[in-house]
Amino acid sequence: MNHSAYHKTKSFRGAVSADAVLDTMVTAAMVLDSDLRVVFVNSAAESLLHCSATQIIGSALNQILLSAEDLQSNLRKALRELQPFTARETVLQLPDNLREEVDLTVSILDNDQFLILEMHPTTRLTRINQSTASTDRQATTRGLIRGLAHEVKNPLGGIRGAAQLLERAIPSNEVAEYTQIIIAEADRLKDLVDRMLGPHQRPNLEAVYLPEVCEHVIALAASEFAGQIEWRRDYDPSLPAVASDRDQIIQAVLNVVRNACQALANTSTAKITLQTRIARQFTIGKKRHRQVMCISIIDNGPGIDTGDLERIFYPMISGRPDGSGLGLSITQHIVSAHNGVVQVSSTFGQTVFSIFLPFEQPAEASGQQEHR
């Protein structure tokens, strides 16, 4: 933060008690000085802009909102003419090719020295509805899979046992060759069913620092896809630990990263970014959280077809001929077990998987055996 911005920030906070007033607002609010530099953002704005206050206070507006020449012109005009204004369905172009559509209200504060921008996301309700519908569909699908799994595993046990008895009853190399095939295939199908059902254990909760999880995942994937991927890290160092099962979260993130690596196989300059942020005033299912942790996996691959976006978390759905279609399903199961949610957005040249996790988990979520 430069000297001038620091003094203006101090002046603004002393004049209108911004910390006490604006930070309690659900609406995203950002305060600019007369040079269009940021002097304050509230929690909701941090979430909307995908940046923490420490990263953007003191920055010029054009460093945060890209291609915003028209908006800057209108803001300067508002300062000159002391005239507030509203702009409907304004698209904010953020770094990393992120976009947010908002209804924007601009007001003038404190002896005409400051502008306050109130940003009302028009896409938030749509995202909440889509997330809730997707979670409900996945829960229904998983219930069906559980029922089918029991119907499949019981006969498999009988077939395997019968093959072992046959092998003992008829000591013949030719018979043994066939019975071993039957036993191996029964074991393979049982393993497949278990993988479709996801982890056996509920999360064993501990304090987990997610950048460490990301570094562990990068180390694993970098050895598996050596020299093929350029890895980028974008961690917010101020973030606290989150209550989660470290091994399960590593597996959830690793499944997404592996998918991204495979999708980038034919990309000449393959890049994957792992990012950690806090999302504020975030709704998961029917519960609104003041803060949640977000891990984003961003790649520059060809993207996912729009028609496939609704189905990619279903078991046995894969975009590759040799794919099992279980990786993302397991990720979704793990995140759901942590009372979180996975969201995905994709265009050509950028796919973003975001894993949202509450900071705290209900006491009953830890250490219980899941019945099958």
Q: What is the number of other CB atoms lying within 10 angstroms of the CB of residue 9? A: 20
What is the tens place of the pLDDT at every residue in 249-286?
A: 999 999 999 999 998 887 788 999 999 998 877 778 77
Calpha distance 98→95 (Å, rounded): 6
Identity of the amino acid at 158 = G
Q: Which of 200-214, 244-258, 299-313 has the lowest mean pLDDT?
A: 299-313
- The Cα–Cα gap between 242 and 240 comes to 7
What is the spatial distance between Cα 177 and Cα 195, in angstroms, rounded to a whole number?
27
Who has greater pLDDT, 342 or 19? 342
Q: Rounded to whole angstroms, how far apart are CA atoms 242 and 279?
A: 13
The helix or strand, by DSSP H or E, that contains position 238, with its residue range, turns out to be none
49-92: pLDDT as tens digits: 888 888 889 999 988 888 788 889 999 998 888 888 888 878 88
Angle at which helices 246-263 and 327-337 cross, to 10°: 150
Return phi, psi of residue 194, to 5°. Answer: -60, -40
Least confident residue range of 32-46, 272-286, 314-328: 314-328
Percent of the residues in the chain that have a pLDDT greater than 90, as a whole number? 20
* Burial letters 129-147, b for 16+ CB under 10 A, else e: eebeebbeebeeebeebee
SS3 247: helix
Confidence class of residue 372 from pLDDT cuts 50, 70 and 90? Answer: very low
Residues pairing with 279 in the sheet: 292
155: pLDDT strictly greater than 50 = yes
Tally Cβ neighbours within 10 Å of residue 343: 15
Work out the percent of the chain whose per-residue pLDDT is above 70: 75
Backbone angles phi, psi at 311, to 5 degrees: -110, -5
**Residue where the block lists tokens 């250490």:** 367
In the numeric block, which tokens belong to residue 275? 């990012």
- pLDDT-derived band at 207 (thresholds 50, 70, 90) equals very high
- Helix %, strand %, coil % of the chain (to 5): 45, 25, 25
pLDDT level of residue 367 (50, 70, 90 thresholds):
very low
Query: Per the structure block, which two tokens stand in for 245?
Result: 């099962």
Helical axes 124-169 vs 173-197, angle rounded to 10°:
160
Q: Residue length, the chain?
A: 372
Distance CA 272, CA 289 (A): 28
Amino acid, res. 313: F
Three-state SS at 217: helix
CA-CA distance, 134 to 189, in Å (whole number)?
28
